Amino acid sequence: MPNVTLPDGSARSFADPVAVADVAVDIGPGLAKAALAGRVDGRLVDTSFVIADDAEVAIITARDAEGLEILRHSTAHLLAQAVQELFPGTQVTIGPVIEDGFYYDFARDEPFTPEDLAAIEKKMAEIAAADLAVHREVWDRDDAIRHFSDIGEKYKAEIIRDLPADEVISVYGQGDWKDLCRGPHVPSTRHLKVFKLTKVAGAYWRGDASNEMLQRIYGTAWPDKKSLKQYLRRLEEAERRDHRRIGKDLDLFSLQEDAGGGLVFWHPKGARIRRVIEDFWREQHVAAGYELLYTPHIALQTLWDTSGHTDFYRESMYRPMEEDNQLYQLKPMNCPFHILIYKQGLRSYRDLPLRWGELGTVYRHEMSGALHGLLRVRGFTQDDAHIFCSEEQIEAEILRILDLTLFMLESFGFNDFAVNLSTKPEKAVGSDEIWEKATDALRGALAAKGLDYELDAGGGAFYGPKIDVKIRDAIGREWQCSTVQLDFNLPERFDMEYVAADGERHRPIMIHRALLGSIERFFGILIEHYEGRFPAWLAPVQAVILNITDRQEAYVGEVKELLENQGLRVEADLRNEKIGFKIREHTLQRVPYLLVVGDREAESNTVAVRTRDGQDLGSMPVKEFAARLEAELASRGRTSMEE
């Protein structure tokens, strides 16, 4: 006689053990129809699950986050069923839920074509419409292995063989199709109405590059058509913001076949933005107590032997070049160079902490398939710095770094962060004590800064714990740029020392940190974040002066000179074109302010100001415009004449 307590606190009694589906019926016919699964005492179950004892029960529908996941998971099964019906002999493997959808990996010799996808989608719709009941069976492990082996599903058999011994082997069936699955699943295929297959791709079996490659079909599924539409709109929005597209349209940068993959060419307008970023970066670092360094781009390979890079980083390094019977190595990192500077002399505890920064250009031979616009390149400039300090200074230094990090990121319009703290992995250098001490220091700094963070236990590098900061951009995507890493390894390898107050020699702690990550990558993210509509302080051209007829040519020159003399980035467009044409062009180029000049303005020493949003700010004296723009620049985008 189970008593069922619902989420709203109300209770219902049943005379006999009752299925989740029947609880839903008992509550109401609408809910019964929408029920996808149940949560019984915190555990997700099928609607066919029978409740025998008193329990807390919730009916899960597509409106619940769990319900949506179940919906997607069941749609993955629907996909697998459709594929096997259309392409007999195709083996199934796994089909999990991912963000916004699902995928299913298949083993088949022939590749799936886009036409195949359309056919599969159609088949899926047919099966869904057939309203097949989805039922769960519990099988004996050996029977299950035998069954899947017999029908030629060697991947499924392998999965079952590797399941923990106490795991219940459940098999879900719909129509005459069956798949091993933990579940839960929707009660019938009729719930699977709104889905779309999005792409085919290769993927390694069990995510291991030494295994065979399977074919992965990606799809998305939603509770209703409106959500699907919103999702597709979101994808379009992301595409509109693609930095590769905008970089070309605004003539900011290029990657060229003639030069090789992953090597970035900064065009004049992109270079202007980079200069603003770098100038700001240097200024802020000097203010934060950093010294700035310059170091070479190549060094003897023996240096990289000392650092250990030729050993564990060889894959990513460009091949060495030989000169005078010695091997030189293009640098993949800046750290050893900063250490060499440190070692030019005996350091005292009075020197610490040393904060040394460099916009250091490094080259890494990333695998060809990894390259992606500005986000993954082979030559890039890290906004790198290394801090050498004593153990006691770690926490204070981390706190300073976090302050500077957040300030920098906020200056570029990012206000939403996700922080990760990664601790000691299995394989690590350094004593447990130092790891513990250092990790405590990181934790302390995070607490002092009042930052919430997620703990990635065992996720640290082998040489020390780290803090990563992810930023969320204008459309909610997360990017990891900033990283702060402690290093117990390199000081050891380079035998770094300082003389402490006690007269003894001690090993300094090394902190690696990058705030923007790499200038290239950060620029790419920045382009997408602002959709190319950079705030005026970053905009390559802050204002364009447009004449209406040739009569204003001289006046345009005066205005331009006046604004330029104030350090503003302005251009004149004196072309023999209609004003509408010029406005269109510079608006598309995302120039923040268009200064229109006709006879009226020339006579009154004014400019008619139009924003890139199409807003008319009216005519104003040139000096007033200059003053307002100056104020806007000083605020670094926090205030604007726009809007």
Q: Is 641 in the site for RNA (CB under 7 A)?
A: no
Q: At which residue do the structure tokens 């670094």 appear?
A: 636
Q: Could you give the CA distance from residue 241 to residue 53 in angstroms, rounded to a whole number?
A: 54
Q: Is 7 in the site for RNA (CB under 7 A)?
A: no
Q: Which is nearer to RNA, 10 or 368 (CB)?
A: 368
Out of 2, 223, 270, 373, the only residue in the binding site for RNA (CB under 7 A) is 373
438 is written with which tokens?
A: 């250092």
Out of 596, 620, 626, 629, the only residue in the binding site for RNA (CB under 7 A) is 596
Neighbours of 541 (CB within 10 A): 20
Q: Which 3 state secondary structure label does DSSP give 234?
A: helix
Site string for RNA, 522-561 (x = CB under 7 A): --------------------------xxxx----------
Tell me how far, at minimum, the Cβ of 450 lies from RNA, in Å. Answer: 27
Which residues in 291-320 contact RNA (CB under 7 A)?
A: 308-309, 312-313, 315-316
Q: What's the start-to-end Cα distance of the chain, in Å?
A: 64
Give 293: exposed, middle or buried? Use CB within 10 Å, 0-12, 13-18, 19+.
Answer: middle
Closest of 141, 123, 140 to residue 132, by C-alpha: 123
Give the CA distances from residue 402 to residues 17, 342, 519, in Å, rounded to whole numbers and listed in that order: 57, 24, 19
Q: Is 426 in the site for RNA (CB under 7 A)?
A: no
Q: What is the dihedral of CA 400, 393, 386, 424, to 10 degrees?
A: -100
Q: Could you give the CA distance from residue 60 to residue 57 in angstroms, rounded to a whole number?
A: 9
Tell me how far, at minimum, the Cβ of 461 lies from RNA, in Å. Answer: 4
- Of 119-127, 259-267, 402-410, 561-569, the segment contacting RNA by CB under 7 A is 259-267
- Of 9-17, 273-281, 434-442, 579-587, the segment contacting RNA by CB under 7 A is 579-587
Q: Could you give the CA distance from residue 579 to residue 337 in angstroms, rounded to a whole number?
A: 55
Q: Could you give the CA distance from residue 278 to residue 74 in angstroms, rounded to a whole number?
A: 50
Tell me how far, at minimum, the Cβ of 8 lies from RNA, in Å. Answer: 40
Q: Is 204 in the site for RNA (CB under 7 A)?
A: yes
Q: Is 577 in the site for RNA (CB under 7 A)?
A: yes
Q: In what helix (H) or strand (E) does residue 291 lie, and over which residues does it extend?
A: strand 291-292
Out of 44, 55, 59, 255, the only residue in the binding site for RNA (CB under 7 A) is 255
Q: Which is nearer to RNA, 39 or 241 (CB)?
A: 241
Q: Is 118 in the site for RNA (CB under 7 A)?
A: no
- Of 8-16, 53-61, 188-196, 364-372, the segment contacting RNA by CB under 7 A is 364-372
Closest of 348, 344, 363, 338 to residue 510, by C-alpha: 338
Q: Which is nearer to RNA, 200 or 339 (CB)?
A: 200
Out of 115, 257, 426, 504, the only residue in the binding site for RNA (CB under 7 A) is 257
Number of residues that bind RNA (CB under 7 A): 68
Task: For residue 327, give the amino acid letter.
Answer: L
Site string for RNA, 206-225 (x = CB under 7 A): -xxx---x-xx-x-------
Please name the residue ranges forming H helices in 130-267: 141-150, 154-162, 225-240, 243-249
Residues 6+ apart with CB under 8 A from 465: 421, 422, 423, 424, 435, 438, 439, 442, 485, 486
Closest of 215, 217, 214, 204 to residue 75, by C-alpha: 217
- Of 61-69, 221-229, 279-287, 590-598, the segment contacting RNA by CB under 7 A is 590-598
Out of 63, 154, 343, 584, the only residue in the binding site for RNA (CB under 7 A) is 584
Q: Is 111 in the site for RNA (CB under 7 A)?
A: yes
Q: Which 3 state secondary structure label does DSSP give 427?
A: coil
Q: Which is nearer to RNA, 18 or 543 (CB)?
A: 543
Q: Could you give the CA distance from residue 395 to residue 445 in angstroms, rounded to a whole number?
A: 6
How many angstroms from the chain centroid is the CA of residue 362?
22
User: Phi/psi of residue 363, each to 5°?
Assistant: -125, 125
Q: Which is nearer to RNA, 315 or 504 (CB)?
A: 315
Q: Is 461 in the site for RNA (CB under 7 A)?
A: yes
- Of 22-30, 31-39, 41-49, 598-606, the segment contacting RNA by CB under 7 A is 598-606
Out of 196, 244, 437, 507, the only residue in the binding site for RNA (CB under 7 A) is 244
Q: Could you give the CA distance from residue 106 to residue 627 in angstroms, rounded to a whole number?
A: 63
Q: Is 383 in the site for RNA (CB under 7 A)?
A: no
Out of 261, 320, 557, 637, the only residue in the binding site for RNA (CB under 7 A) is 261
Annotated catalytic residues are 335, 364, 382, 384, 386, 466, 512
Out of 601, 622, 629, 633, the only residue in the binding site for RNA (CB under 7 A) is 601
Q: Which is nearer to RNA, 411 or 547 (CB)?
A: 547
Binding residues vs RNA (CB under 7 A): 111, 113, 199-204, 207-209, 213, 215-216, 218, 244, 248, 255, 257, 260-262, 308-309, 312-313, 315-316, 332-333, 366-373, 376, 461-463, 548-551, 576-581, 583-584, 587-588, 594, 596, 598-601, 608, 610, 612, 614, 616, 619
